[in-house]
Protein backbone atom coordinates (compact mmCIF):
# COMPACT_ATOMS: atom_id res chain seq x y z
CA UNK A 1 0.00 0.00 0.00
CA UNK A 2 1.40 3.33 -1.02
CA UNK A 3 1.02 6.26 1.34
CA UNK A 4 1.07 9.69 -0.20
CA UNK A 5 3.40 12.15 1.53
CA UNK A 6 1.39 15.13 0.24
CA UNK A 7 -2.19 15.19 1.57
CA UNK A 8 -4.90 16.26 -0.77
CA UNK A 9 -6.81 19.57 -0.31
CA UNK A 10 -10.00 17.63 0.47
CA UNK A 11 -8.33 15.74 3.33
CA UNK A 12 -6.95 18.97 4.77
CA UNK A 13 -10.42 20.55 4.56
CA UNK A 14 -12.03 17.59 6.30
CA UNK A 15 -9.40 17.65 9.03
CA UNK A 16 -9.99 21.36 9.69
CA UNK A 17 -13.75 20.81 9.82
CA UNK A 18 -13.30 18.05 12.43
CA UNK A 19 -10.99 20.26 14.51
CA UNK A 20 -13.42 23.18 14.43
CA UNK A 21 -16.24 20.87 15.43
CA UNK A 22 -14.25 19.58 18.40
CA UNK A 23 -13.33 23.11 19.49
CA UNK A 24 -16.98 24.12 19.30
CA UNK A 25 -17.95 21.20 21.51
CA UNK A 26 -15.42 22.03 24.24
CA UNK A 27 -17.43 24.90 25.82
CA UNK A 28 -20.57 22.80 25.68
CA UNK A 29 -18.81 19.93 27.38
CA UNK A 30 -17.35 22.10 30.12
CA UNK A 31 -20.68 23.84 30.62
CA UNK A 32 -22.47 20.52 30.92
CA UNK A 33 -20.17 19.42 33.75
CA UNK A 34 -22.01 19.43 37.03
CA UNK A 35 -20.73 20.89 40.27
CA UNK A 36 -21.02 18.65 43.30
CA UNK A 37 -21.93 20.39 46.55
CA UNK A 38 -22.93 19.29 50.04
CA UNK A 39 -25.32 21.01 52.43
CA UNK A 40 -22.47 22.16 54.68
CA UNK A 41 -20.59 23.61 51.69
CA UNK A 42 -23.71 25.41 50.46
CA UNK A 43 -24.25 27.00 53.88
CA UNK A 44 -20.62 28.10 54.08
CA UNK A 45 -20.82 29.73 50.64
CA UNK A 46 -24.12 31.43 51.51
CA UNK A 47 -22.62 32.87 54.70
CA UNK A 48 -19.88 34.49 52.63
CA UNK A 49 -21.49 35.47 49.32
CA UNK A 50 -25.30 35.43 49.45
CA UNK A 51 -27.38 38.63 49.17
CA UNK A 52 -28.66 38.09 52.71
CA UNK A 53 -25.08 38.04 54.00
CA UNK A 54 -24.25 41.29 52.22
CA UNK A 55 -27.34 42.97 53.66
CA UNK A 56 -26.47 41.63 57.08
CA UNK A 57 -22.93 42.96 56.77
CA UNK A 58 -24.15 46.39 55.63
CA UNK A 59 -26.58 46.58 58.53
CA UNK A 60 -23.85 45.63 60.97
CA UNK A 61 -21.51 48.24 59.52
CA UNK A 62 -24.20 50.90 59.90
CA UNK A 63 -24.76 50.04 63.56
CA UNK A 64 -21.02 49.88 64.17
CA UNK A 65 -20.48 53.38 62.87
CA UNK A 66 -23.52 54.62 64.78
CA UNK A 67 -21.91 53.38 67.98
CA UNK A 68 -18.58 54.93 66.99
CA UNK A 69 -20.38 58.22 66.40
CA UNK A 70 -22.01 57.97 69.83
CA UNK A 71 -18.67 57.33 71.55
CA UNK A 72 -17.01 60.17 69.65
CA UNK A 73 -19.74 62.62 70.70
CA UNK A 74 -18.33 62.59 74.25
CA UNK A 75 -14.79 63.45 73.10
CA UNK A 76 -13.54 67.05 72.76
CA UNK A 77 -14.23 68.65 69.39
CA UNK A 78 -11.85 71.29 68.02
CA UNK A 79 -13.25 73.45 65.22
CA UNK A 80 -11.95 76.27 63.06
CA UNK A 81 -14.60 78.86 62.18
CA UNK A 82 -13.78 81.55 59.63
CA UNK A 83 -15.46 84.09 57.36
CA UNK A 84 -13.31 84.77 54.30
CA UNK A 85 -14.54 87.39 53.44
CA UNK A 86 -17.90 89.07 54.17
CA UNK A 87 -18.35 92.15 51.97
CA UNK A 88 -21.37 94.45 52.44
CA UNK A 89 -22.40 97.66 50.67
CA UNK A 90 -25.94 98.67 51.67
CA UNK A 91 -28.00 101.24 53.51
CA UNK A 92 -28.84 99.99 57.00
CA UNK A 93 -30.87 101.28 59.90
CA UNK A 94 -28.97 101.71 63.17
CA UNK A 95 -29.69 103.32 66.54
CA UNK A 96 -27.33 106.13 67.60
CA UNK A 97 -26.27 107.10 71.12
CA UNK A 98 -29.31 109.34 71.61
CA UNK A 99 -31.67 106.48 70.83
CA UNK A 100 -32.67 107.68 67.38
CA UNK A 101 -32.90 105.38 64.36
CA UNK A 102 -30.86 106.67 61.46
CA UNK A 103 -30.00 105.27 58.04
CA UNK A 104 -26.35 105.07 57.05
CA UNK A 105 -24.48 103.75 54.04
CA UNK A 106 -22.39 100.81 55.15
CA UNK A 107 -19.56 99.79 52.84
CA UNK A 108 -17.27 97.36 54.61
CA UNK A 109 -15.25 94.19 54.37
CA UNK A 110 -15.22 91.75 57.30
CA UNK A 111 -12.67 89.00 57.78
CA UNK A 112 -12.81 86.87 60.92
CA UNK A 113 -11.64 83.56 62.25
CA UNK A 114 -11.55 81.64 65.49
CA UNK A 115 -11.13 78.32 67.25
CA UNK A 116 -13.58 76.53 69.49
CA UNK A 117 -13.05 73.53 71.75
CA UNK A 118 -16.31 71.92 72.90
CA UNK A 119 -16.91 69.07 75.33
CA UNK A 120 -20.19 67.39 76.27
CA UNK A 121 -20.69 66.87 80.00
CA UNK A 122 -22.59 63.57 80.42
CA UNK A 123 -23.08 64.02 84.19
CA UNK A 124 -25.08 67.22 83.82
CA UNK A 125 -26.39 67.11 80.23
CA UNK A 126 -24.74 70.36 79.17
CA UNK A 127 -21.94 71.47 76.86
CA UNK A 128 -18.75 73.31 77.92
CA UNK A 129 -16.77 75.18 75.27
CA UNK A 130 -13.71 77.44 75.06
CA UNK A 131 -13.66 79.90 72.16
CA UNK A 132 -11.28 82.46 70.68
CA UNK A 133 -11.96 84.92 67.86
CA UNK A 134 -10.22 87.66 65.82
CA UNK A 135 -11.99 90.13 63.49
CA UNK A 136 -10.75 92.66 60.97
CA UNK A 137 -13.21 95.25 59.62
CA UNK A 138 -12.27 97.59 56.79
CA UNK A 139 -14.60 100.56 56.16
CA UNK A 140 -14.37 101.99 52.67
CA UNK A 141 -14.65 105.79 52.22
CA UNK A 142 -13.16 106.76 55.61
CA UNK A 143 -9.66 107.80 56.67
CA UNK A 144 -9.38 105.48 59.63
CA UNK A 145 -10.88 102.62 57.78
CA UNK A 146 -9.50 99.53 59.60
CA UNK A 147 -10.53 98.24 63.01
CA UNK A 148 -9.71 95.06 64.87
CA UNK A 149 -11.52 93.08 67.52
CA UNK A 150 -10.10 90.18 69.51
CA UNK A 151 -11.50 87.74 72.04
CA UNK A 152 -8.49 85.83 73.42
CA UNK A 153 -10.75 83.37 75.18
CA UNK A 154 -14.25 82.92 76.41
CA UNK A 155 -15.63 80.04 78.44
CA UNK A 156 -19.23 79.12 77.78
CA UNK A 157 -21.54 76.58 79.37
CA UNK A 158 -25.03 75.84 78.09
CA UNK A 159 -27.71 73.37 79.11
CA UNK A 160 -31.19 73.13 77.68
CA UNK A 161 -32.83 71.62 80.75
CA UNK A 162 -31.71 71.22 84.36
CA UNK A 163 -34.37 68.59 85.05
CA UNK A 164 -33.71 66.24 82.11
CA UNK A 165 -30.33 64.81 81.09
CA UNK A 166 -30.50 62.99 77.71
CA UNK A 167 -26.83 61.96 77.98
CA UNK A 168 -27.56 59.80 81.01
CA UNK A 169 -30.21 57.86 79.10
CA UNK A 170 -28.12 57.55 75.93
CA UNK A 171 -25.28 56.14 78.00
CA UNK A 172 -27.56 53.23 78.93
CA UNK A 173 -29.34 52.79 75.60
CA UNK A 174 -26.62 53.11 72.94
CA UNK A 175 -24.40 50.25 74.24
CA UNK A 176 -27.49 48.03 74.23
CA UNK A 177 -28.24 49.03 70.63
CA UNK A 178 -24.72 48.04 69.60
CA UNK A 179 -24.80 44.77 71.53
CA UNK A 180 -28.19 44.01 69.99
CA UNK A 181 -26.70 44.61 66.55
CA UNK A 182 -23.82 42.19 67.16
CA UNK A 183 -26.17 39.47 68.32
CA UNK A 184 -28.49 40.15 65.39
CA UNK A 185 -25.53 39.60 63.05
CA UNK A 186 -24.96 36.12 64.50
CA UNK A 187 -28.68 35.29 64.39
CA UNK A 188 -28.90 36.38 60.77
CA UNK A 189 -25.97 34.11 59.89
CA UNK A 190 -27.92 31.19 61.35
CA UNK A 191 -31.02 32.40 59.51
CA UNK A 192 -28.97 32.25 56.30
CA UNK A 193 -28.20 28.62 57.15
CA UNK A 194 -31.93 27.90 57.48
CA UNK A 195 -32.72 29.68 54.20
CA UNK A 196 -29.91 27.85 52.40
CA UNK A 197 -31.09 24.50 53.74
CA UNK A 198 -34.59 25.19 52.44
CA UNK A 199 -33.29 26.03 48.95
CA UNK A 200 -30.93 23.05 49.05
CA UNK A 201 -33.70 20.56 49.81
CA UNK A 202 -36.02 22.12 47.24
CA UNK A 203 -33.44 21.35 44.58
CA UNK A 204 -32.61 17.95 46.07
CA UNK A 205 -36.27 16.92 46.02
CA UNK A 206 -36.60 18.19 42.45
CA UNK A 207 -33.60 16.09 41.39
CA UNK A 208 -34.93 12.98 43.12
CA UNK A 209 -38.43 13.46 41.72
CA UNK A 210 -37.03 13.86 38.21
CA UNK A 211 -35.00 10.66 38.64
CA UNK A 212 -38.12 8.86 39.87
CA UNK A 213 -40.17 10.24 36.98
CA UNK A 214 -37.60 9.10 34.42
CA UNK A 215 -37.38 5.63 35.94
CA UNK A 216 -41.17 5.38 36.08
CA UNK A 217 -41.44 6.44 32.45
CA UNK A 218 -38.95 3.77 31.42
CA UNK A 219 -40.74 1.12 33.49
CA UNK A 220 -44.14 2.15 32.19
CA UNK A 221 -42.87 2.03 28.63
CA UNK A 222 -41.67 -1.53 29.21
CA UNK A 223 -44.95 -2.52 30.86
CA UNK A 224 -46.90 -0.96 28.01
CA UNK A 225 -45.04 -3.08 25.48
CA UNK A 226 -45.69 -6.18 27.59
CA UNK A 227 -49.38 -5.26 27.84
CA UNK A 228 -49.61 -4.85 24.06
CA UNK A 229 -48.18 -8.32 23.61
CA UNK A 230 -50.61 -9.85 26.07
CA UNK A 231 -53.52 -8.05 24.46
CA UNK A 232 -52.64 -9.48 21.06
CA UNK A 233 -52.77 -13.02 22.43
CA UNK A 234 -55.98 -12.29 24.35
CA UNK A 235 -54.61 -12.54 27.90
CA UNK A 236 -55.77 -9.04 29.01
CA UNK A 237 -58.61 -6.77 28.05
CA UNK A 238 -58.29 -3.56 26.04
CA UNK A 239 -59.25 -1.55 29.13
CA UNK A 240 -56.05 -2.70 30.87
CA UNK A 241 -53.96 -1.65 27.86
CA UNK A 242 -55.61 1.75 27.81
CA UNK A 243 -55.05 2.18 31.54
CA UNK A 244 -51.33 1.43 31.34
CA UNK A 245 -51.04 3.66 28.27
CA UNK A 246 -52.62 6.46 30.29
CA UNK A 247 -50.12 5.80 33.07
CA UNK A 248 -47.30 6.02 30.52
CA UNK A 249 -48.57 9.35 29.22
CA UNK A 250 -48.82 10.69 32.77
CA UNK A 251 -45.26 9.52 33.40
CA UNK A 252 -44.05 11.49 30.38
CA UNK A 253 -45.89 14.58 31.65
CA UNK A 254 -44.31 14.10 35.08
CA UNK A 255 -40.86 14.10 33.50
CA UNK A 256 -41.60 17.40 31.76
CA UNK A 257 -43.06 18.97 34.92
CA UNK A 258 -40.15 17.86 37.11
CA UNK A 259 -37.63 19.05 34.53
CA UNK A 260 -39.09 22.56 34.75
CA UNK A 261 -39.12 22.39 38.55
CA UNK A 262 -35.50 21.25 38.54
CA UNK A 263 -34.53 24.25 36.43
CA UNK A 264 -36.36 26.65 38.76
CA UNK A 265 -34.89 25.28 41.98
CA UNK A 266 -31.38 25.01 40.55
CA UNK A 267 -31.49 28.66 39.50
CA UNK A 268 -32.87 29.60 42.91
CA UNK A 269 -29.97 27.96 44.75
CA UNK A 270 -27.22 28.90 42.28
CA UNK A 271 -28.17 32.58 42.24
CA UNK A 272 -28.47 32.69 46.03
CA UNK A 273 -24.96 31.26 46.32
CA UNK A 274 -23.76 33.36 43.36
CA UNK A 275 -22.41 30.28 41.56
CA UNK A 276 -21.46 30.42 37.90
CA UNK A 277 -23.02 27.06 37.07
CA UNK A 278 -26.64 26.07 37.64
CA UNK A 279 -25.89 22.41 36.93
CA UNK A 280 -25.52 21.28 40.55
CA UNK A 281 -25.23 17.77 41.89
CA UNK A 282 -26.42 17.58 45.48
CA UNK A 283 -25.60 14.94 48.06
CA UNK A 284 -28.25 13.60 50.39
CA UNK A 285 -27.10 14.71 53.86
CA UNK A 286 -26.95 12.10 56.57
CA UNK A 287 -28.61 12.37 59.95
CA UNK A 288 -26.67 14.16 62.69
CA UNK A 289 -25.17 12.38 65.69
CA UNK A 290 -27.72 11.71 68.40
CA UNK A 291 -27.85 14.43 71.08
CA UNK A 292 -30.48 15.50 73.56
CA UNK A 293 -31.61 19.06 74.20
CA UNK A 294 -33.43 20.02 77.38
CA UNK A 295 -35.76 23.00 77.57
CA UNK A 296 -33.87 24.42 80.55
CA UNK A 297 -30.54 24.35 78.69
CA UNK A 298 -32.02 25.80 75.50
CA UNK A 299 -33.79 28.60 77.41
CA UNK A 300 -30.66 29.41 79.41
CA UNK A 301 -28.52 29.74 76.28
CA UNK A 302 -31.21 31.74 74.47
CA UNK A 303 -31.48 34.22 77.34
CA UNK A 304 -27.72 34.66 77.36
CA UNK A 305 -27.13 34.82 73.61
CA UNK A 306 -30.24 36.05 71.77
CA UNK A 307 -30.72 39.69 70.80
CA UNK A 308 -34.34 39.60 72.00
CA UNK A 309 -33.26 39.79 75.65
CA UNK A 310 -31.21 42.93 74.91
CA UNK A 311 -34.05 44.28 72.78
CA UNK A 312 -36.49 43.99 75.70
CA UNK A 313 -34.21 46.05 77.94
CA UNK A 314 -33.58 48.62 75.23
CA UNK A 315 -37.29 49.11 74.44
CA UNK A 316 -38.11 49.56 78.11
CA UNK A 317 -35.33 52.13 78.59
CA UNK A 318 -36.43 54.08 75.50
CA UNK A 319 -39.98 54.28 76.87
CA UNK A 320 -38.67 55.37 80.30
CA UNK A 321 -36.49 57.98 78.59
CA UNK A 322 -39.53 59.50 76.89
CA UNK A 323 -41.40 59.66 80.22
CA UNK A 324 -38.40 61.37 81.86
CA UNK A 325 -38.21 63.88 78.99
CA UNK A 326 -41.88 64.80 79.30
CA UNK A 327 -41.72 65.11 83.07
CA UNK A 328 -38.53 67.18 82.92
CA UNK A 329 -39.65 69.61 80.21
CA UNK A 330 -43.43 69.91 80.50
CA UNK A 331 -44.05 70.98 84.09
CA UNK A 332 -41.05 73.26 84.56
CA UNK A 333 -38.54 74.14 81.83
CA UNK A 334 -35.25 75.45 83.22
CA UNK A 335 -32.28 76.26 80.99
CA UNK A 336 -28.84 77.64 81.83
CA UNK A 337 -26.44 79.74 79.76
CA UNK A 338 -23.20 81.08 81.25
CA UNK A 339 -20.28 82.89 79.58
CA UNK A 340 -17.01 84.35 80.87
CA UNK A 341 -14.14 85.83 78.90
CA UNK A 342 -12.11 88.87 77.89
CA UNK A 343 -12.06 91.00 74.75
CA UNK A 344 -10.59 94.13 73.22
CA UNK A 345 -10.94 96.21 70.05
CA UNK A 346 -9.08 99.10 68.42
CA UNK A 347 -7.50 100.49 65.31
CA UNK A 348 -3.95 99.27 66.01
CA UNK A 349 -3.44 95.54 65.92
CA UNK A 350 -0.22 95.74 67.99
CA UNK A 351 -2.03 97.29 70.98
CA UNK A 352 -4.94 94.83 71.06
CA UNK A 353 -3.27 92.59 73.63
CA UNK A 354 -2.07 95.34 76.02
CA UNK A 355 -5.29 95.39 78.05
CA UNK A 356 -8.63 93.64 77.95
CA UNK A 357 -12.21 94.21 78.83
CA UNK A 358 -14.09 91.60 80.79
CA UNK A 359 -17.24 90.08 79.38
CA UNK A 360 -19.42 87.72 81.34
CA UNK A 361 -23.05 86.86 81.55
CA UNK A 362 -25.23 84.27 83.22
CA UNK A 363 -28.72 83.51 81.98
CA UNK A 364 -31.20 81.22 83.70
CA UNK A 365 -34.33 80.56 81.65
CA UNK A 366 -37.47 79.42 83.41
CA UNK A 367 -40.66 78.35 81.70
CA UNK A 368 -43.76 77.35 83.64
CA UNK A 369 -46.97 76.40 81.81
CA UNK A 370 -49.68 78.26 83.75
CA UNK A 371 -52.57 77.32 81.52
CA UNK A 372 -52.07 75.26 78.34
CA UNK A 373 -55.44 73.48 78.06
CA UNK A 374 -53.87 70.26 79.37
CA UNK A 375 -51.25 69.92 76.61
CA UNK A 376 -48.38 69.29 79.04
CA UNK A 377 -50.39 66.82 81.06
CA UNK A 378 -51.57 64.96 77.95
CA UNK A 379 -48.01 64.60 76.66
CA UNK A 380 -46.90 63.21 79.98
CA UNK A 381 -49.84 60.82 80.13
CA UNK A 382 -49.16 59.63 76.56
CA UNK A 383 -45.55 58.86 77.48
CA UNK A 384 -46.66 56.99 80.63
CA UNK A 385 -49.26 55.04 78.67
CA UNK A 386 -46.64 54.12 76.07
CA UNK A 387 -44.40 52.89 78.89
CA UNK A 388 -47.18 50.67 80.25
CA UNK A 389 -47.93 49.43 76.73
CA UNK A 390 -44.25 48.68 76.12
CA UNK A 391 -44.00 46.74 79.40
CA UNK A 392 -47.09 44.69 78.54
CA UNK A 393 -45.80 44.00 75.01
CA UNK A 394 -42.43 42.97 76.41
CA UNK A 395 -44.05 40.61 78.91
CA UNK A 396 -46.10 39.02 76.11
CA UNK A 397 -43.02 38.81 73.87
CA UNK A 398 -41.08 37.10 76.67
CA UNK A 399 -43.81 34.50 77.02
CA UNK A 400 -43.85 33.90 73.26
CA UNK A 401 -40.04 33.76 73.34
CA UNK A 402 -40.08 30.97 75.94
CA UNK A 403 -42.98 29.16 74.27
CA UNK A 404 -41.23 29.16 70.87
CA UNK A 405 -38.16 27.55 72.40
CA UNK A 406 -40.22 25.02 74.37
CA UNK A 407 -42.21 23.91 71.31
CA UNK A 408 -39.13 23.67 69.13
CA UNK A 409 -37.22 21.61 71.68
CA UNK A 410 -40.24 19.32 71.97
CA UNK A 411 -40.45 19.03 68.19
CA UNK A 412 -36.72 18.36 67.89
CA UNK A 413 -36.88 15.48 70.37
CA UNK A 414 -39.32 13.68 68.03
CA UNK A 415 -37.73 14.66 64.75
CA UNK A 416 -35.22 11.79 64.61
CA UNK A 417 -38.00 9.25 65.21
CA UNK A 418 -39.99 10.81 62.34
CA UNK A 419 -36.95 10.52 60.08
CA UNK A 420 -36.29 6.87 60.97
CA UNK A 421 -39.93 5.98 60.38
CA UNK A 422 -39.99 7.76 57.02
CA UNK A 423 -36.78 6.02 55.95
CA UNK A 424 -38.20 2.61 56.88
CA UNK A 425 -41.45 3.38 55.04
CA UNK A 426 -39.47 4.31 51.93
CA UNK A 427 -37.63 0.99 51.99
CA UNK A 428 -40.84 -0.98 52.51
CA UNK A 429 -42.66 0.88 49.72
CA UNK A 430 -39.76 0.34 47.31
CA UNK A 431 -39.63 -3.37 48.09
CA UNK A 432 -43.40 -3.69 47.70
CA UNK A 433 -43.27 -1.97 44.31
CA UNK A 434 -40.44 -4.21 43.10
CA UNK A 435 -42.45 -7.29 44.09
CA UNK A 436 -45.64 -5.90 42.51
CA UNK A 437 -43.81 -5.17 39.29
CA UNK A 438 -42.52 -8.75 39.07
CA UNK A 439 -45.95 -10.16 39.87
CA UNK A 440 -47.57 -8.00 37.20
CA UNK A 441 -45.11 -9.26 34.61
CA UNK A 442 -46.12 -12.78 35.63
CA UNK A 443 -49.79 -11.84 35.28
CA UNK A 444 -50.66 -12.40 38.97
CA UNK A 445 -51.91 -8.84 39.76
CA UNK A 446 -53.80 -6.20 37.83
CA UNK A 447 -52.45 -2.89 36.55
CA UNK A 448 -54.52 -1.12 39.21
CA UNK A 449 -52.63 -2.89 41.99
CA UNK A 450 -49.33 -2.02 40.32
CA UNK A 451 -50.27 1.65 40.02
CA UNK A 452 -51.22 1.74 43.70
CA UNK A 453 -47.83 0.31 44.62
CA UNK A 454 -46.15 2.85 42.33
CA UNK A 455 -47.97 5.78 43.91
CA UNK A 456 -47.17 4.57 47.43
CA UNK A 457 -43.51 4.16 46.49
CA UNK A 458 -43.26 7.67 45.07
CA UNK A 459 -45.15 9.13 48.02
CA UNK A 460 -42.87 7.35 50.51
CA UNK A 461 -39.75 8.71 48.81
CA UNK A 462 -41.13 12.25 48.91
CA UNK A 463 -42.19 11.87 52.55
CA UNK A 464 -38.69 10.72 53.45
CA UNK A 465 -37.13 13.73 51.75
CA UNK A 466 -39.61 16.00 53.51
CA UNK A 467 -38.74 14.40 56.84
CA UNK A 468 -35.03 14.82 56.11
CA UNK A 469 -35.63 18.47 55.19
CA UNK A 470 -37.57 19.12 58.40
CA UNK A 471 -34.81 17.41 60.38
CA UNK A 472 -32.11 19.74 59.06
CA UNK A 473 -34.30 22.84 59.11
CA UNK A 474 -35.21 22.15 62.74
CA UNK A 475 -31.55 21.66 63.59
CA UNK A 476 -30.48 25.01 62.15
CA UNK A 477 -33.57 26.71 63.59
CA UNK A 478 -32.59 25.34 67.00
CA UNK A 479 -29.16 26.90 66.54
CA UNK A 480 -30.76 30.17 65.50
CA UNK A 481 -33.12 30.24 68.50
CA UNK A 482 -30.36 29.58 71.04
CA UNK A 483 -27.16 30.65 69.26
CA UNK A 484 -25.64 27.49 70.71
CA UNK A 485 -23.98 24.49 69.05
CA UNK A 486 -25.28 21.47 70.94
CA UNK A 487 -22.97 19.08 69.08
CA UNK A 488 -19.77 20.95 70.01
CA UNK A 489 -21.26 22.28 73.28
CA UNK A 490 -20.21 25.89 72.68
CA UNK A 491 -21.75 29.24 71.88
CA UNK A 492 -22.02 30.29 68.25
CA UNK A 493 -19.91 33.39 67.59
CA UNK A 494 -18.70 35.28 64.55
CA UNK A 495 -15.13 36.44 64.31
CA UNK A 496 -14.61 40.14 64.84
CA UNK A 497 -15.02 42.21 61.68
CA UNK A 498 -12.59 45.00 60.97
CA UNK A 499 -14.28 47.94 59.22
CA UNK A 500 -12.26 50.37 57.16
Q: Please compute the mean of the pLDDT values over residues 324-345 and round it to a whole number.
A: 80
φ and ψ at residue 137, rounded to 5 degrees: -120, 125
3-state secondary structure of 345: strand
- At 231, the pLDDT band (50, 70, 90 cuts) reads confident
> What is the per-residue pLDDT for 12?
44
pLDDT digits (tens, 9 = 90+) for 262-279: 999 999 999 999 988 888
Residue 143's pLDDT band, with cuts at 50, 70 and 90, is low
Q: Report d(CA 38, CA 393) in Å as an integer.
A: 42
For 371-387, write each residue's pLDDT tens digit: 778 788 888 899 999 99
Q: Order the strands of the 333-346 sheet from edge to edge.
A: 77-95, 101-121, 126-139, 146-159, 333-346, 357-367
Nearest-5° Cα angle at 197, 494 to 462: 160
Q: Which pLDDT does position 227 carry in this prediction?
A: 83
β-strands 280-282, 35-37: how paired?
parallel
Q: Poorest-confidence range of 30-44, 122-136, 211-225, 316-330? A: 30-44
**DSSP helix/strand/coil, 13:** helix
Q: Once rounded to an integer, what is the mean pLDDT over residues 110-133?
A: 89
The pLDDT-based confidence of 3 (bands split at 50, 70, 90) is very low
pTM of the model: 0.77
Residue pair 182/61 in contact by the 8 Å Cβ criterion: no
Which of 103-107, 355-359, 383-387 has the highest average model confidence (pLDDT)?
383-387
Name 24's Cβ contacts closer than 8 Å, sequence gap at least 6.
Answer: none
Cβ-Cβ contacts under 8 Å for 351 (sequence gap 6 or more) = none
Asked whether the beta carbons of 84 and 135 are under 8 A apart, the reply is no
- Give 3-state DSSP helix, strand, coil % of the chain, rounded to 5: 60, 20, 20
- Whether the CB-CB separation of 162 and 471 falls below 8 Å is answered with no
Predicted local confidence at residue 389, as pLDDT: 95
Q: Residue 13: what pLDDT? A: 44
Query: Which DSSP string do the residues of 37-76 spell out, in sequence order?
Result: E-HHHHHHHHHHHSHHHHHHHHHHHHHHHHHHHHHHTTS-
pLDDT at 316 over 60: yes
Confidence of residue 144 (pLDDT cuts 50, 70, 90): low
Helix (H, G, I), strand (E, B) or coil at 444: coil
Tell me the percentage of the chain whose pLDDT exceeds 90.
Answer: 33
- For residue range 441-460, list pLDDT tens digits in order: 787 888 788 888 888 988 89
- DSSP code, position 124: T
At 111, give phi and psi (nearest 5°).
-130, 125
3-state SS track over 237-252: CHHHHHHHHHHHHHHH
Q: Kindly give, in sequence order, each residue whose CB lies less than 8 Å from that of residue 79, ignoring residues fewer than 6 positions away.
A: 115, 116, 117, 118
The residue-averaged pLDDT of 322-347 equals 80
Alpha carbon 331 to its chain centroid, in Å, reads: 42
Query: Mean pLDDT score of the chain, rounded to an integer?
Result: 84
Q: How confident is the model at residue 138 (pLDDT cuts 50, 70, 90)?
A: confident
Q: Using the 8-state DSSP alphabet, how is residue 500 labeled? A: -
- In the chain, the N- to C-terminal Cα span, in Å, equals 77
pLDDT band at 289 (very low <50, low <70, confident <90, very high): confident
* Residue 260 pLDDT exceeds 90: yes
The predicted pLDDT at position 33 comes to 64
Q: What is the pLDDT of residue 292?
A: 83
pLDDT recorded at residue 16 = 43
Q: Taking residues 474-480, what's their average pLDDT?
A: 91
The residue ranking higher by pLDDT, 287 or 387, is 387
The pLDDT score that the predictor gives to residue 356 is 78
CB atoms within 10 A of CB 147: 16
- Sign of torsion, CA 448 423 476 48? negative
Give just the sign of the alpha carbon dihedral 374, 376, 379, 381.
negative
What tens digit of pLDDT does each residue of 406-432 get?
999 988 888 888 888 988 998 999 999
State the pLDDT at residue 223.
81
Report whether pLDDT(318) > 80.
Answer: yes
Q: Give me the helix-helix angle, 166-232 and 447-482, nearest 10°.
A: 170
| Position 25 pLDDT exceeds 50 | no
3-state secondary structure of 463: helix
Amino acid sequence: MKISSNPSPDSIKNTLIHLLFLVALLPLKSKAQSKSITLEEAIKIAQEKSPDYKINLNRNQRDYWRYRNYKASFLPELRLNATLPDYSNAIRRITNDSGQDIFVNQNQLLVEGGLSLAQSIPYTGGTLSINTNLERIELFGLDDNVRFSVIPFTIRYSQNSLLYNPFRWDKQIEPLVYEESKREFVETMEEIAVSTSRRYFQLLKAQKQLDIAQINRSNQDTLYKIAQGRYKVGKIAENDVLQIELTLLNSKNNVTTNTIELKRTSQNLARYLELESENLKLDVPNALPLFDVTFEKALEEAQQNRKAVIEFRRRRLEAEKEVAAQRGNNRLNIGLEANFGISNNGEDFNTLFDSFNQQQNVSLRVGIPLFDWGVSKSRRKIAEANLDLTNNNINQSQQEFEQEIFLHVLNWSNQREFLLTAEKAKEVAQKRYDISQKRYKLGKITITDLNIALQEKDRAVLQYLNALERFWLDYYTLRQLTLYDFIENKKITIESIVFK
